[in-house]
Amino acid sequence: MKISKNKKYFVMILFVVFCLCAHALIWRYGVPAEYRAHINAYAARNNLEPSLIKAMIKIESKFNPDAVSRRGARGLMQIMPATAREIAENFNIENYNVEMLFDPEINIMFGAYYIRMLLNMFDGNLNMALAAYNAGMGNVEQWKYKNPMVEFEPSEIPFKETRGYVRKVQNAYKFYKGARKLKRLITPKKP
């Protein structure tokens, strides 16, 4: 069977476009290898999907362990110092100091614990837990009291920043879940 030159060029162009898109997605959403073990370990410990932790880190800090927000949140999962102090007390960590939030393992451990706590508090509702992670539990409780629809629809969240945050994390979460499924499909099984 002979393939015309036009079809060859078309296939080559499609292949190049596919490779460029794949490269862009990996560059944009790739997870640095040094964080994978911590993400998997603390996701498992807190009965979370690693994809959720990856998505949160991507949106919170773009995988920058030295990130500091305008409000003072620190590290990969952008944890506020006051929240971290409470978590450190729960874990009986002696000599805790705020600089420890720049340690990727501690930051991921605290962030995974905190999002699990929020998921438990909001009966597994991911929208509410993410909103509380971003805007605080008190704000989310008020929103829920004033408008019960806020539980089901991120567009009902009154803070623009939090509304955007929930949507971005949800989209990244879907991407990482899809990438994980795809990896399982294309990775050969070990005998």
Total-model pTM: 0.80
pLDDT computed for residue 61 by the predictor: 96
94 alpha carbon, distance to own chain's centre: 28
**Running DSSP on this structure, what letter comes out for residue 158?**
S
Locate the domains of the chain by residue range.
1-30, 33-186
Burial (CB < 10 A; 0-12, 13-18, 19+), residue 18, is exposed
pLDDT of the residue at 176: 87
Helices (H), the chain: 5-29, 33-45, 50-61, 81-90, 104-121, 126-135, 137-146, 160-186
Return the ∠ at Cα 120 (arms to 51 and 62), rounded to 5°: 30
pLDDT of residue 23: 45
CA distances from 98 to 72, 81, 85, 101, 111 (A): 10, 6, 8, 6, 14
The residue from 34, 49, 60, 89 that is catalytic is 60
The reported pLDDT for the residue numbered 189 is: 59
Q: Is 49 a catalytic residue?
A: no
CATH of 33-186, one of 3.40.30.10, 1.10.3080.10, 1.10.530.10, 3.40.50.620: 1.10.530.10
Please state, as a whole number, how many other Cβ atoms lie within 10 Å of the Cβ of residue 60: 24
pLDDT tens by residue, the chain, 191 residues: 566 667 666 666 766 665 445 544 544 457 888 999 999 999 999 999 999 999 999 999 999 999 999 999 999 999 999 999 999 999 999 899 999 999 999 999 999 999 999 999 999 999 999 999 999 999 999 988 888 877 778 888 899 999 999 999 999 999 888 765 555 545 555 55
